[in-house]
């Protein structure tokens, strides 16, 4: 121990200690500046705004600044095809040189979906279902019906749409809704002498519906059988019924006297 303490007091120890300190300092300084060079500390640029530009314009802007890019696609109905609809990182974000910018481009064609079953559902429920399938509600038209704000019919581009039909995503769906006016009354049509098809047509025009069908005797010719009785029937005491009322009929091949 005494020899070690004596060595610490020698000039040789002091020289070795000085060299060791200098070596550590040099290594730390070298590591610091090497790291700054490797990470390009303080060097970079702000990401340009390319959202809303055509793809070719966006690429030119990024390449001019030495930035790389990767592309994905989505579909938005109201934007031109090939337009940048999103970018990551956002505009004015500070990034290093050669950073990859992720672009989302609007597709030229819309993906398709199978149309859901929304008939006879409430308007609010139908609207939610339509939205979940990537569709939009277009025009809403009301007609007299006992149901209020219930979907009675569905169309796309002026044509009826059935559940399972394939239509472009983002399409606008037109709805025919009931106005809840079933408490209004209409005049009872006189159906005596009508065939079943003629009666059904007449009832639709009066916002009524065909009810139970009974037969008088053996029916040999259903198409030409005529109505010999109806209920309710137009009379001096009963002239109107509520919209949507079912009218029951009796068919016969016998001629009405």
CA separation for the pair 248, 77 (Å, rounded): 49
Residue 257, in any domain of the structure? no
Question: What is the extent of the structural domain holding 77?
Answer: 45-106
What mean pLDDT comes out for the span 115-139? 93
pLDDT per position as a tens digit, 7-19? 556 777 667 777 7
CB 179 within 8 A of CB 145: yes
Give the phi and the psi of residue 110 in degrees, each rounded to 5. -80, 140
Residues 190 and 179 in one domain: no
Instruction: Examine the pLDDT at 231 and tell me if it is beyond 80.
Output: yes
What integer best gives the mean pLDDT of the chain?
Answer: 85
Show the tokens assigned to 147.
């149901």
Total tally of structural domains belonging to the chain: 4
Instruction: Examine the pLDDT at 108 and tell me if it is beyond 90.
Output: no
What pLDDT does residue 8 have? 58
CA separation for the pair 74, 110 (Å, rounded): 9
Q: Among the three residues 161, 183, 205, which one is the final residue of a domain in this structure?
A: 183
Residue 74, in any domain of the structure? yes
Residue 32, in any domain of the structure? yes
- Provide the pLDDT confidence category of residue 36 given band limits of 50, 70 and 90: low
Residues 83 and 119 in one domain: no
CATH code at position 96? 3.30.10.20
249, with CB counted inside 10 A (0-12, 13-18, 19+), is: buried
Residues 71 and 101 in one domain: yes
Residues 95 and 156 in one domain: no
- Provide the pLDDT confidence category of residue 49 given band limits of 50, 70 and 90: very high
What pLDDT does residue 58 have? 93
Buried b (16+ CB within 10 A) or exposed e, 190-212: ebbebbbeebbebbeeebbebee
């Amino acid at each position: 121990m005494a020899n070690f303490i004596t060595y610490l007091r020698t000039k040789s120890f002091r020289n070795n200690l000085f060299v060791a300190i200098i070596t550590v300092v040099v290594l730390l300084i070298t590591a610091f500046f090497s790291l700054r060079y490797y990470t390009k500390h303080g060097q970079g640029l702000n990401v340009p705004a390319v959202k809303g530009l055509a793809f070719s314009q966006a690429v030119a802007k990024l390449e001019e600044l030495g930035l790389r890019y990767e592309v994905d696609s989505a579909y938005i109905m109201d934007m031109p095809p090939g337009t940048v609809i999103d970018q990551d990182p956002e505009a004015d974000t500070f990034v290093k040189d050669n950073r990859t910018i992720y672009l989302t481009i609007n597709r030229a064609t819309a993906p398709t979906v199978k149309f859901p079953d929304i008939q006879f559902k409430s308007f609010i429920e139908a609207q939610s279902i339509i939205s979940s399938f990537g569709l939009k509600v277009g025009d809403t038209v009301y007609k007299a019906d006992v149901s209020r704000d219930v979907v009675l019919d569905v169309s796309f581009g002026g044509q009826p749409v059935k559940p399972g039909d394939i239509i472009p995503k983002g399409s606008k769906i037109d709805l025919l809704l009931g106005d809840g006016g079933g408490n209004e009354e209409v005049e009872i049509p006189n159906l005596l002498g009508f065939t079943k098809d003629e009666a059904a047509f007449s009832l639709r025009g009066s916002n009524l519906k065909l009810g139970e069908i009974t037969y008088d005797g053996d029916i040999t010719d259903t198409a030409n059988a005529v109505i010999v009785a109806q209920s309710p029937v137009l009379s001096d005491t009963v002239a109107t019924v509520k919209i949507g009322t079912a009218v029951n009929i009796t068919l016969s091949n016998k001629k009405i006297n």
